[in-house]
Amino acid sequence: MDRQRRANNPNKYNEDGTFKFSNRDKWVNSNGYIKTRNKLRELQRKQKDIRKQSHERLANYILGLGNKIYVENMNYKGLQARVKETTINKKTSKYNKKKRFGKSLANKAPSMFLIILDNKLKFNDTQLNKIDTISVKASQYNHITDKYTKKDLNQRWNDFGDFKIQRDLYSAFLIMNIKDNLKEVDRDLCFKTFDNFKVLHDDEIERIRSSNCKLVSSMGL
């Protein structure tokens, strides 16, 4: 579409390919461009329907496991925004990309999934339990040492010395053991349930590694 638009509107662009903001001429859209645009709209409509159906199935599956559900109160709009600060990679001496999670969030639509799940819960006179993400800091907390350690996004495993636990699964474990005020992790409860979690964690990691399904990159496997 961009190639077609540029071919139909050469006066709208500078010689180096950048957009000419001073040009106020009316855009010219060819029949080929309109056909391509309509095809894109149809693909996006199908993608939207498939995404919603997938969310509905996943919500029904989760509700089949129980109706007391804890989630992190995330700011998805903030995660979609580009990084404002310009930084340089120390290893390559090149500028780091300012992109964050806009494309993946648009494709997965986690906010829409939580709305669907919450609406289904309301039929049973309950709702999602949204924890205070800033207070809990599930991705940084270690219930064994009772300390918080900030980690880089590419650090997908928590090192406990004799063993390692996948970062996202461990965060879910901590959220599962949250106190009623939704602001603190119940450390005593973590010690009581950790051994069983460790067994289930190892079984799930082994199942994912041995499956034929495409591995999720965020798992670090």
Residue 107 located in a structural domain: yes
How much is the pLDDT for 100?
A: 65
Which residue, of 77, 106, 131, is where some domain finishes? 131
What does the alpha-carbon distance between residue 193 and residue 196 come to, in Å, rounded to a whole number? 6
CA separation (Å) from 217 to 53, 136, 156, 220?
Answer: 23, 25, 10, 6
Does one domain contain both 121 and 36?
A: yes
When pLDDT is cut at 50, 70 and 90, the band that residue 212 belongs to is confident
Does one domain contain both 88 and 137?
A: no
Quickly list H helices, the chain.
2-8, 31-65, 76-80, 102-108, 110-122, 133-136, 167-176, 187-210
Assigned token pair, 48:
């939207």
199 pLDDT higher than 90: yes
| Residues of the domain holding 204 | 132-221
How much is the pLDDT for 80?
A: 63
If one counts the domains in the chain, the total is 2
- What is the residue-averaged pLDDT of the chain? 87
Does one domain contain both 66 and 141?
A: no
Residue 158 bridge partners (DSSP): 165
How much is the pLDDT for 169?
A: 92
195 pLDDT higher than 90: yes
Residue 19 located in a structural domain: no
Does one domain contain both 169 and 89?
A: no
Residue 1 located in a structural domain: no
Does one domain contain both 51 and 127?
A: yes
Output the DSSP codes for 7-46. Answer: HH-GGGB-TTS-B-TT--PPP---HHHHHHHHHHHHHHHH
Percent of the chain, pLDDT > 70? Answer: 90
Q: pLDDT digits over 33-50, tens only?
A: 999 999 999 999 999 999
- What count of Cα atoms within 13 Å lies in the side-chain half-sphere of residue 36? 10
What does the alpha-carbon distance between residue 108 and residue 103 come to, in Å, rounded to a whole number? 9
How much is the pLDDT for 77?
A: 66
Q: pLDDT digits over 57-99, tens only?
A: 999 999 999 889 999 887 666 666 777 777 777 777 777 776 6
Residue 20 located in a structural domain: no
Residue 15 located in a structural domain: no
Which residue, of 116, 131, 146, is where some domain finishes? 131
Q: pLDDT digits over 142-161, tens only?
A: 999 889 988 887 788 888 88
Cβ atoms of 221 and 208 within 8 Å: the answer is yes
Global confidence as pTM: 0.73
How much is the pLDDT for 161?
A: 84
How much is the pLDDT for 102?
A: 67
Does one domain contain both 184 and 217?
A: yes
124 pLDDT higher than 70: yes
